Chain A
Amino acid sequence: QSVLTQPPSASGTPGQRVTISCSGSSSNIGSNTVNWYQQLPGTAPKLLIYSNNQRPSGVPDRFSGSKSGTSASLAISGLQSEDEADYYCAAWDDSLNGLFGGGTKLTVL
């Protein structure tokens, strides 16, 4: 069981807005920045959001991130079929350990 807790699954229809949560504690999300990754089947993860809410160049503004206290969220608006993937949150822990959430499988209905 991961220290960063994500829902195992999420779903939405094309055009909808979906959010994926990531819950941690004061030693990780509460005191360090959160990053989000998208992993399409059979490929390496891709950086989607860094420093809680920053998008790397090339990532559509449909993707946004936020953090409050010991929790973070990834929001995807205008859902598209190509957004169907696994999504992972990640954060450093003050115990000197890198953490990933357990991952959320997003299904576009």
Chain B
Amino acid sequence: NAGVMQNPRHLVRRRGQEARLRCSPMKGHSHVYWYRQLPEEGLKFMVYLQKENIIDESGMPKERFSAEFPKEGPSILRIQQVVRGDSAAYFCASSLTGGSNQPQHFGDGTRLSIL
């Protein structure tokens, strides 16, 4: 998992607060993907971003969730007005270029707990 950095590793929020999860891709990678992992479930795709562009957000809930990947700085996954059901591990992955012929490399995730 060397290279993809996620922080914080653990995040605790109360219901109604905002959660911000950060992801710095591997050096040289300009494509970022966010996934959510619930207990007993597989990783679920949320959103795919390139620098300053959202390419595919078909897996992201329509409300309360947003993502960005600015020209400078890490990618941010933002969850507003968190609810208990948002408790999960959120993983970020990066690839050198887009497309399915490019493997995705994952960070160690942010574990979000909602009180």
Answer yes or no: are A and B bound together in one complex: no
